[in-house]
Amino acid sequence: MFKRSKIPMRFGEKRIFSNAVVKRAIDFEIEDERSAIDLVTERTTIPTPKILRTISHGAVRYIVMDYIEGRNLSQAWPELSEQEQSSVAWTLQ
């Protein structure tokens, strides 16, 4: 189903279409991901991806979701001031 790549899928996500990404996961991570997306959607105006489907291939699971242009929080975090970091943490608690 997915084209083999030399890039390991251990961490992060890989863009598979212009409008979709896939993330490798284990079972509990899928529900954690869904909960995190729901939380950010409910408490902020930050654009969040829609989970399109989950795929199981043997013991490995994948989450396919919308691709949203931009940086993720882990990329932006080091550039935020302490006040901005506190605000983000307070919003997402």
Enumerate residues 6+ apart whose C-beta is below 8 A from 54. Answer: 25, 30, 61, 62, 63, 64
pTM: 0.67
Distance CA 50, CA 88 (A): 21
- CA terminus-to-terminus distance, the chain: 38
- Return the domain boundaries, the chain: 13-92
pLDDT tens digits in sequence order for the chain, 93 residues long: 444 444 444 556 788 999 999 988 876 678 888 888 898 899 888 889 999 998 888 778 888 999 999 888 888 999 999 999 999 888 877
Distance CA 86, CA 69 (A): 24
| pLDDT in the model for residue 27 | 64
| pLDDT in the model for residue 28 | 66
Four-way CATH pick for 13-92: 1.10.10, 3.40.50, 2.30.30, 3.30.200: 3.30.200
